Amino acid sequence: MLSFIAQRVAKGVIVLLAIIVLNFFLIRLAPGDPAVVMAGEAGASDQLFVAQLREKFGLDRPLPEQLLIYVKGIASLDLGFSFRQQAPVAKLIAERLPATLLLTLSAFAISLLLGVFFGVLAARFAGTFLDTAITVLALIFYATPLFWIALIAILLFSVWADWLPSFGYETVGAGYTGLRHALDVAAHLVMPAATLGLFFMATYTRMTRASMLEVRRLDFVKTARAKGLRDGVILRRHVLRNALLPVVTLAGVHAGTLVGGAVLTETVFAWPGIGRLMYDALIQRDYNLLLGVFVVSSAMVLIFNLITDLVYRLVDPRIEYAS
Amino acid sequence: MPHGDSSRVGALDALQRIETVGKFIMLKRVLLGVAIGCVLSAAHAEEPKSGGVVNAVIQPEPPGLMLAMVQNGPTQMVSGNIFEGLLRYSPKLEPLPGLAESWTISPDAKVYTFKLKPGVTWHDGKPFTSADVLFSIEMLKQTHARARNNLVMVDKVEAPDDLTVVFTLKEPFGPFIGIFEVGSMPMVPKHLYEGTDFKTNPNNNAPIGTGPFMFKEWQKGSFIRMVKNPNYHEKGKPYLDEVYWQIIPDAAARAVAFETGKVDVLPGGSIENFDVPRVSKLPGACVTGAGWEFFSPISWMWLNLRNPILANKKVRQAIMYAIDRDFAKDVIWNGLGKVATGPSASTIKFYTDDVPKYPYDPAKAKALLKEAGYKGEKIRMLPLAYGETWQRWGEAVKQNLQDVGMTIETIATDVPGGNQKIMEWDYDLAFTYLYQYGDPALGVSRNYITSAIAKGQLFNNVEGYSNPEVDRLFAEGATAPTDAKRKEAYEKVQKILVEDVPVAWLLELQFPTITKCKVKNLITTGVGVNDGFRDAWLDK
C-alpha cells in the first residue's frame, strides 16, 4: 500500500508541474495584463506608467524566464507575490481557505449524506409515490441554475421571512465570541451551504438510486435473499455497499473541486472564499494569484483522487492496489 | 533714487499688489466658502449627533488602500476618509480649505502659495508639515499617472517654512487650483515612506493619513473597518464612531443588503441601474444625484478614425443621428443621466450647449451614409463589460446602427481584454465613460489633442483625431490668464468638435447615491462619497 501511495504521489507531482506550465501560458493568452488593468483603473496612463508597472510585475522579462522564476518559487513552496493586492499569494490563499473549506465541506457532507439517504429511500420504494417525489425533486434541483436557487433563497429567507442573513461570513461589528460566534457563522452558512449542497445532493440521490436498482437485480442479491436474510440486511450489507462505488467515484471528483468550485455561491452570498479570490484574480489578470489558486486546487484534486482510490479498497475488498 | 533701490521698491510694490490681490481672492473664496456652508447647513439644519456606526457598500473590493499607489474607484472611496488633499471642492467646483487653510495666487497666475492648517497630525501622532507636501509631490510623480500629468506645468515647489508651500508654474495653467483633491493629490506621510520601496512598504495595507477616520481592520473578502480619528483637526468631527465598508460582490445581493437594513449607504453604481427606482422607493431610503460634479462621468463611443469608413465625417455624423440617446436614457438608464451635447459635461467649467445638435433622426443618418458611399461594410463594436446595463446599451446601439443600414459585429470581451484592444487601436467602435475632473484641461482635452495620440495607452486620443485648430484652442484654454479668455477658447473648441464628431457622445451619466435617511449630511462637496464621511452623522 505504501509503494502504491508513493507511486501516486510521484505521478501527482509530474501532473502538477504540467498543470503549472500549461496554466502559465494559458493565462497569458488572454488579452490584457495586470499593467493594462491597473492603467485602466488609474483614470490616466502614460508610457512611463505602463512600463513601470510591467517592470514591477516582471512582465518585461521573456516568458521562459518568467516561468523559470515561478517554478523555482513553487519548488521552494513560494507561490509568489500578488502585486495587485500587495501581499504574498500564499497568505491571500491561506486567509480565504478556511471559509471556502467550511462552506464546501458542509455542502459536501450534507449533500453526500442526504443524497445517499434519499437515493436508498427512492430505490427501496421504487415505483411508489415517494420514489416519484424524490426523483422529481432531485431532477428539479439538478436542473435549476445554482445562482437562481440562491437568489430565491435570499428572497424567501432573508427579505420576506427575515430568518437568515443574506450575505457574509459573520455579523460584522457584532463582536461575538465563543458559542455565540459559532452560531452566528452557522446562521450565515445555512443558505450558501444548502444552495451549493442541493445540486450535489440531487446528483448523489439519482446516482445512488440508479446504482441500487441495478445491483438489486444481480445474482448475489438473489442468493442472499434465498439464504433467508432480512431485506434491511440485504439492502445495507449487500446492495448499498456495492452500489456505492460509482457514488464514491463521483464524490471523489466533487471533493477535488471543493477548493475552487464555489465561485457562484460565494459571489451571491458574499462568502469570503477562494472562488471569489480566483474570479477577481482572473478579472484583474493577477497572474501569480491565479496560478497560486490553480496550484492549490490542482493539488487538492490529486490528493482527493488518491483518497478515492484508497476508499475504493475499503468499500470493495476485491480491488487490489496495483503496483 | 538708485536703480537698485528703485527695483527693490518695484518688487515691494509688486509683492504688495500680489498680497492685496491674493487677499481679495482669498476673501472671495472665504465668502464663497461661507455662502456654500450656509446653503449646506440650511439644507441640513438639524444639529449633528455624535456616535453610531454606518455600513456602506464598496464594490469591487479595493486592491489596496494606499491612495498614492492605487487610484481605482473603490480605493478612492474608502481612502478618501483616511487621506486628505490640500483642498476640497464645492458642488460648483470652487476650492474649499482642506489641509491648506488658505491660498493665494499671484497676479501673473504663476505662483500659488498655500498656508497649511496648523496642528494637523498623522494618525500615528507625528505632525503634518510642508515637508510632507514636498515629499508627496515627488512620490506621486513616480506612482500616480494623473498627478504626474497634472504637475507637468510646475517649475518648482518650495517650503519656506513648516506651514507654507509655494508652487511656481512654468506658465499660467488655469485648472491648477483644481488639482488638489484627495484622489488627485493625496498627502503621504514622509516619515513612513521616505527611503523605502514604495510598492512593498508595509503601510500600504494599513495606511496612515491625516483624515477623519483611521484604518482599523481589513478582512479580505468581507469588510474594511475604519474608526473615528479622535485627534482630527476639525474639532468635533467626525461624528460617526465607525464606518464599515461591506464587500458584497453581487449587485442583487447588495440591493437586498440595503433592503434588509444590513447596509446604510449604497454609493453610486453599487446596484444595477434597473434596480435603482425600486430601491429608491423603499421605506426609509433617500436618494441623491449630488456629489459627482468633480468627476462628471460622460459616456461615448470611440470611433477609430484610422478605419477609412469612420474617417469620413459624414459617417460619424450619421452615427450620431442614428443613435437614439433619449431611449437609452429613459429605458436603459431608467431616466438617470442626461443626453450629452458634446465633449464637456454640463456640470464642468466652460460648458456650452451652443453647438450643432444631433437629434435621433434615422432618415438623416441613412441619407448621410448614402452620401458618404457606405455600402454595408462590417464595423466591429466593443461594448463595455461593466455589467447588465452596459450590455443592454451595446445591444440597443447595435440595433440603432443596423436600422440605418450599418453592419455591426459585436466583439465580446472582458474589461482588461477590451482595454487592451482600445490601447492597441484594434477596434472600430468602443464604448467608454470617463471622468472630467472639473476642468476641460484636466479631463477633456486629453481625448482630442494631437499630442495625446500614443499607442499602448488608455484614456487619451485613442480615436486618432488631429486638428491643429483644436490643439491650439485647447492649449489657449489651459494657459489663458483669465477665465473669460479660457471660456472663449473652450466654447470655440466645443463647437468645432461637435461639428467634427471625433467620438460619438452618448450620455452624461448619473450614479445616484442611495442612503438610509437616518444617515445625514453624507454628501457635502463636488467629490461626493470620495470626500469621506467627515460631515456625516446618524440620526439615531
Residues of B in contact with A41 (CB under 8 A): 70-73
Per residue in B241-289, pLDDT tens? 999 999 998 888 999 999 999 999 999 989 988 889 899 999 999 999 8
Q: Is the peptide bond preceding residue B238 cis, with omega within 30 degrees of 0?
A: yes
Predicted confidence band of residue B189 (pLDDT cuts 50, 70, 90): very high
Cα A258 from Cα A308, distance rounded (Å): 14
CB contact under 8 A, B419 and A43: no
Q: How far is A141 from chain B (nearest CA, A)?
A: 21
Q: Locate all alpha helices (DSSP H) within B301-445, ordered by sequence.
A: 313-322, 325-327, 362-372, 388-403, 415-423, 440-443
Confidence grade of residue B413 (pLDDT, cut at 50, 70, 90)? confident
Q: Which residues of chain A have pLDDT under 50?
A: 323
Residue of A nearest to B72 (CA): A41
pLDDT at B45: 57
For residue B43, pLDDT over 70 is answered with: no
Mean pLDDT to the nearest integer, B202-214? 93
pLDDT at A321: 59
Q: Which A residues 54-113 touch B at CB under 8 Å?
A: 56, 83-87, 92, 95-96, 99
Taking only the tens place, the pLDDT of each residue in A101-125 is 899 999 999 999 999 999 999 998 9
Assign B465 a pLDDT band (cuts: 50, 70, 90): very high
Nearest to A31 among B55, B221, B417 (CB): B417
* pLDDT for the residue numbered B8: 33
Cβ <8 Å between B145 and A167:
no
| Interchain contact B248–A (C-beta under 8 A) | yes
Alpha carbons B269 and B255: distance in angstroms, whole number: 11
Question: Which of chain A's residues have a Cβ under 8 Å away from the Cβ of B413?
Answer: 31
Q: What percentage of chain B reaches a pLDDT higher than 90?
A: 70
Would you say residue B128 has pLDDT above 90? yes
pLDDT at A45: 62
Q: How far apart are CA B111 and CA B17, in angstroms?
A: 13
Range 18-57 of B in CB contact (< 8 A) with A = 53, 55
Q: Which of B72, B219, B260 has its CB closest to that of A159?
A: B260
* Out of A169, A269, A283, closest to residue B415 by CB: A283
pLDDT (mean) for B300-312: 97
Would you tell me how many other CB atoms lie within 10 Å of the CB of residue A315?
15
Q: Are strands B285-288 and B513-516 parallel, antiparallel or unpaired?
A: antiparallel
Pairing of strands B223-228, B242-247: antiparallel
Burial class (CB in 10 A: 0-12, 13-18, 19+), A227: exposed
pLDDT value, residue A261: 62
B412 at interface of A, judged by CB pairs closer than 8 A = no
pLDDT at B3 over 60: no
Among candidates B63, B262, B417 on the partner chain, residue whose Cβ is nearest the Cβ of A84: B63
Q: Hey, is the C-beta of A168 within 8 angstroms of any chain B C-beta?
A: yes
Stretch 439-468 of chain B: residues touching chain A, C-beta under 8 Å: 446, 454, 456-460
Which residue is closest to A85 within chain B, CA to CA?
B63
Q: Kindly report which listed range (A103-112, B204-213, B414-423, B510-519) carries the lowest average pLDDT score.
A: B414-423
Q: Do B225 and A166 touch (CB under 8 A)?
A: no
Is B146 in contact with A41 (Cβ distance < 8 A)? no
Q: Which one of A37, A86, A158 has the shortest CB-CB distance to B64?
A: A86
Q: Would the CB atoms of B420 and A31 count as touching at under 8 Å? A: yes
Mutate to test the interface with A, among B388, B420, B446 (most CBs of A within 10 A): B420
Of B66, B69, B457, the CB nearest to A46: B457
Across the strands, what pairs with B97? B87
* Mean pLDDT taken over chain B: 89
Coil, helix or strand for A64? helix
Chain B neighbors of A266, CB-CB under 8 A: 249
B388 has pLDDT over 90: no
Mutation for testing the B interface, residue in A37, A46, A55 having most B CBs under 10 Å:
A46
Closest-CA distance of chain B to residue A2, Å: 40
pLDDT, position B369:
97
Segments in B218-303 forming alpha helices (H): 251-259, 276-280
User: A144 and chain B: CB distance < 8 Å anywhere?
Assistant: no
Residues 6+ apart with CB under 8 A from B81: B211, B212, B213, B226, B243, B532, B533, B534
Is residue B342 predicted with pLDDT exceeding 70?
Answer: yes
- Is B283 an 8 Å CB contact of chain A? no
Highest mean pLDDT among A55-69, A271-285, B55-69, B94-108: B94-108
- Chain A CA closest to residue B386: A283
pLDDT bin (cut points 50, 70, 90) of residue B202 is: confident
B182–chain A Cβ distance below 8 A for any pair = no
- pLDDT of B22 higher than 70: no
Q: What is the pTM of this model?
A: 0.83
Contact A276 B148 (CB under 8 A): no
Set of chain A residues whose Cβ sits within 8 Å of the Cβ of B148: 46, 48-49
Measured between CB atoms, which of B200, B256, B456 is closest to A154? Answer: B256
Residues 6+ positions from A56 with CB-CB distance below 8 Å: A83, B199
What DSSP assignment string belongs to B15-28?
A: HHHHHHHHHHHHHH
Residue of B nearest to A171 (CA): B262
Q: At A272, is the secondary structure helix, strand, or coil?
A: coil
Nearest residue on chain A to B459, alpha-carbon basis: A44
Give me the pLDDT at residue A65, please: 86
Q: Cell digits for B144?
A: 500616480
